[in-house]
């Protein structure tokens, strides 16, 4: 891609949850790199090691992202357990140090597995999913937004109170945030009560946070990628009934699961100038899966 066609040139992105080459996070990081961004990636290998699909070679993951860079863009990598608020702060600080600022934040990380039905729920299970999927996403977004707030930090606000708008008027150069949710708003996710709860919170608060961020000139959208096969739908590594998966896949409009590149292309578009007029939306990219 010629330098003049790199819409993210000169910008720096932090993409979380980039631990596996089959994952959405890796596809997003590579897509943003191909569009010209410098990219700092986050990983947490112990989570993947506990899953049926297993982990990956993190050096190879990082090398794949570096190979996608264009021009004089650079890459960095941070391993962190985002259940720990101090680790969230360390991650963001390291990403900012890569080039001096973070212009794009994609919160792709997620805890999955080890969930259960409503009858299985414990305070510990609910807290673990909340801390990883929801709290850390909001904390990272707060750190990101603070870069663009006047003064030492965000001013306190009462319900309904608005801050004076301080952000740039040019939407094409606006800082961008993308959260990731799931399909919990489209139908039941049996056996995933803690996961669905943590993701539903992000979808539910998108409009509120997007409105507040817009006063700072920051654009937030949330993406539901639909059923994307990152290894958890493969016969050798799935924890779900194969017959049900086969029937479900055959019934999809295109006869296949989503691929990581599918949501990655949408996210690359959203955080570039072309997607700047889309603000505060929960967007589903599922190939029509929800319409079957």
Q: Do the domain assignments include residue 270?
A: yes
Residues ≥6 apart with Cβ < 8 Å to 115? 125, 129, 191, 192, 193, 194, 195
Return the number of other C-beta atoms located less than 10 Å from residue 91's C-beta. Answer: 25
Mean pLDDT throughout 207-219? 95
| Per-residue pLDDT at 153 exceeds 50 | no
Q: Do the domain assignments include residue 268?
A: yes
CATH number at residue 122: 3.40.50.720
Residues of the domain holding 53 = 12-149+164-284
The model's pLDDT over 98-108, given as tens digits with 9 standing for 90+, comes to: 999 999 999 99
The model's pLDDT over 18-49, given as tens digits with 9 standing for 90+, comes to: 999 999 999 999 999 999 999 999 999 888 87
Residue 151 pLDDT class (50, 70, 90 cuts) = low
Question: The whole model's pTM is what?
Answer: 0.90
Residue 169 to residue 174: CA distance in whole angstroms: 8
Q: Do the domain assignments include residue 129?
A: yes
Mean pLDDT throughout 227-232? 73
| Per-residue pLDDT at 200 exceeds 70 | yes
Q: Do the domain assignments include residue 16?
A: yes
The model's pLDDT over 237-292, given as tens digits with 9 standing for 90+, comes to: 566 676 666 676 776 777 777 889 999 999 999 999 999 999 999 999 887 777 67
| Per-residue pLDDT at 235 exceeds 50 | yes
The residues with which 43 forms a beta bridge, in sequence order, are: 79
Kindly report the CA angle at 95 between 92 and 101, in degrees rounded to 5? 95
94, 72 contact by CB (below 8 A):
no
41, 17 contact by CB (below 8 A):
no
Residue 226 to residue 258: CA distance in whole angstroms: 7
Q: Do the domain assignments include residue 292?
A: no
Q: Do the domain assignments include residue 98?
A: yes
25, 108 contact by CB (below 8 A):
yes
Residue 107's nearest CA partner among 171, 41, 173, 61 is 41
Q: Do the domain assignments include residue 105?
A: yes
| pLDDT for the residue 171 | 78
Lookup: tokens for 263: 């949501």
Residue 178's nearest CA partner among 220, 141, 134, 212 is 220
Domain count along the chain = 1
Q: Do the domain assignments include residue 96?
A: yes
The pLDDT mean for the chain works out to 88
Residue 20's nearest CA partner among 116, 110, 106, 104 is 110
Q: Is 176 helix (H, G, I), strand (E, B) or coil?
A: strand
């Amino acid at each position: 891609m010629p330098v003049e066609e790199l819409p993210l040139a000169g910008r720096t992105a932090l993409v979380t949850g980039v631990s596996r080459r089959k994952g959405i996070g890796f596809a997003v990081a590579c897509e943003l790199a191909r569009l010209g961004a410098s990219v700092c990636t986050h990983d947490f290998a112990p989570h993947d090691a506990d899953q049926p699909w297993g982990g990956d070679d993190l050096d190879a993951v990082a090398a794949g992202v570096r190979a996608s860079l264009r021009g004089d863009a650079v890459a960095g990598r941070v391993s962190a357990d985002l259940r720990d608020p101090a680790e969230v702060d360390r991650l963001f600080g390291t990403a900012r140090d890569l080039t001096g600022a973070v212009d794009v934040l994609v919160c792709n990380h997620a805890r999955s597995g080890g969930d259960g039905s409503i009858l299985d729920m414990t305070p510990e299970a609910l807290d673990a999913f909340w801390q990883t999927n929801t709290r850390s996403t909001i904390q990272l977004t707060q750190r990101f937004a603070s870069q663009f707030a006047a003064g030492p930090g965000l001013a306190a606000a009462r319900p309904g109170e608005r801050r004076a708008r301080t952000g740039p008027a040019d939407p094409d150069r606006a800082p961008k945030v993308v959260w990731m949710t799931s399909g919990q708003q489209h139908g039941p996710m049996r056996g995933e009560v803690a996961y669905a709860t943590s993701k539903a919170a992000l979808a539910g608060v998108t409009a509120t946070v997007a409105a507040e961020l817009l006063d700072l000139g920051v654009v937030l959208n949330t993406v539901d990628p639909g059923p994307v096969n990152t290894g958890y739908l493969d016969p050798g590594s799935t924890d779900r009934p194969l017959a049900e998966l086969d029937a479900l896949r055959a019934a999809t409009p295109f006869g296949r699961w989503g691929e990581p590149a599918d949501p990655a292309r949408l996210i690359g578009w959203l955080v570039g100038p072309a997607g700047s007029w889309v603000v505060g939306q929960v967007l589903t990219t599922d190939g029509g899966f929800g319409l079957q």
